[in-house]
Amino acid sequence: VEFGSVVEDQLDLMRRLNEQRQVGSVLTQELAQAIRGGHIIPWYQPVVDLDSDRIVGVEALARWQHPEGEITNPARFIPLAEDSDLIIDLDLTIISLAARDVVRWHAERPDLRLSVNLSGRHFDRDDFLTPIASAVTDAGLSPEAVDLELTETKHLGERVTSGLVHQLRDAGFGVWLDDFGTGWSSLEYLLRMPVSGVKIDRALTLALGSRIGNALTTAVTGLTSELDLKTTIEGVETRRNAQIARDLGCDFGQGYFWSPPVPAPDLPRLWASSTNGSNTDPSRATAPN
């Protein structure tokens, strides 16, 4: 009986793994089609200067817009894309669409910066820089207006050498460490990489106002200002946390307090308003991941 049930369990596990693999590959094909068909598009979240409360940039965040109108958040498809080189096509698609939007917006807001997320997989390629630079310059945008965000993961540390980051900086791009404070060996990494700034993760933002949260944030801004790096605080949802972050030395902020990510046509309305913070419309927030 014992042996029989073990075999049965094994068979059951194998059946389920096989089903998962099939579901995964169907989704992968659908995602590849969605990228080609123009259904993966950038939404934009403003980046705000904490001193002036003005929008200084936008972060492009991928959304899957289904023909029926439904919107899927990246947590549902980025991990899948990360399993293959599909993430490279996805990133380049977002970069090129976002660069086009920003070129248009530059007519009204010439100093507007664009932030995009870059998978560590790009760095596995010999000529990783050319497609990224082309996606930007083909749209008529200068790399100097673009910040590339790298999420610090175990893999990224293995892939990205300071020489590769130097190549991006030499091409004119800003390079930022995303989700800072959640990865491992962050400090060692920070000291080794020629990055332009760090984005403090929402986990730390949530702790603002507590003794430990403030101490950690002060440690980060102390270190970054010593290294002449900028800091953006992510996931700010309250005026109080925006004020604390500014007082603790953060330069920029991002979060639902100012605005959730919105579709491109909704953005100009945001910088038309003089008081960004009071204009928050939480109903635009997409479903939690």
Task: Give residues in contact with Mg ion (CB under 5 A).
Answer: 117, 149, 151, 178-179, 234
- Is the Cβ–Cβ distance between 176 and 195 less than 8 Å? yes
Amino acid at the residue 8: E
Quick one: CA dihedral 76, 79, 84, 85, positive or negative? positive
- Is the Cβ–Cβ distance between 58 and 281 less than 8 Å? no
Q: Does 221 bind ligand C2E (CB under 6 A)?
A: no
The nearer residue to ligand C2E, 205 or 221, going by C-beta atoms, is 205
Report helix, strand or coil for 152.
Answer: coil
The nearer residue to ligand C2E, 94 or 102, going by C-beta atoms, is 94
Q: Does 196 bind ligand C2E (CB under 6 A)?
A: no
Report helix, strand or coil for 177.
Answer: strand
Residue 94 site contact among ligand C2E, Mg ion, none (CB < 5 to 8 Å, cut-off depends on kind):
ligand C2E
How many CB atoms within 10 Å of residue 160? 21
Shortest reach from residue 77's CB to Mg ion, in Å: 14
Report helix, strand or coil for 108.
Answer: coil
State the maximum Cα–Cα separation within the chain, in Å, rounded to a whole number: 75
Residue sitting closest to ligand C2E (CB): 255
Tokens of 120: 């560590």
The span from the first CA to the last CA of the chain, in angstroms, equals: 43
Q: Does 261 bind ligand C2E (CB under 6 A)?
A: yes
Amino acid at the residue 82: E
- Is the Cβ–Cβ distance between 187 and 220 less than 8 Å? no
Report helix, strand or coil for 127.
Answer: coil
The 3-state DSSP composition of the chain as helix, strand, coil percent (nearest 5) reads 50, 20, 30
The nearer residue to ligand C2E, 119 or 186, going by C-beta atoms, is 119
Q: Does 289 bind ligand C2E (CB under 6 A)?
A: yes
Q: Does 147 bind ligand C2E (CB under 6 A)?
A: no
Q: Show the binding pattern over residues 50-69: x = contacts ligand C2E (CB under 6 A), - = does not.
A: -----------xx-------
Residue 235 site contact among ligand C2E, Mg ion, none (CB < 5 to 8 Å, cut-off depends on kind):
ligand C2E
Q: Does 204 bind ligand C2E (CB under 6 A)?
A: no
Q: Show the binding pattern over residues 70-109: x = contacts ligand C2E (CB under 6 A), - = does not.
A: ---xxx--x--------x--xx--x---------------
Shortest reach from residue 200's CB to Mg ion, in Å: 9
Interface positions with ligand C2E (CB under 6 A): 45, 61-62, 73-75, 78, 87, 90-91, 94, 117, 119, 149, 151, 178-179, 202, 234-237, 254-256, 261, 289
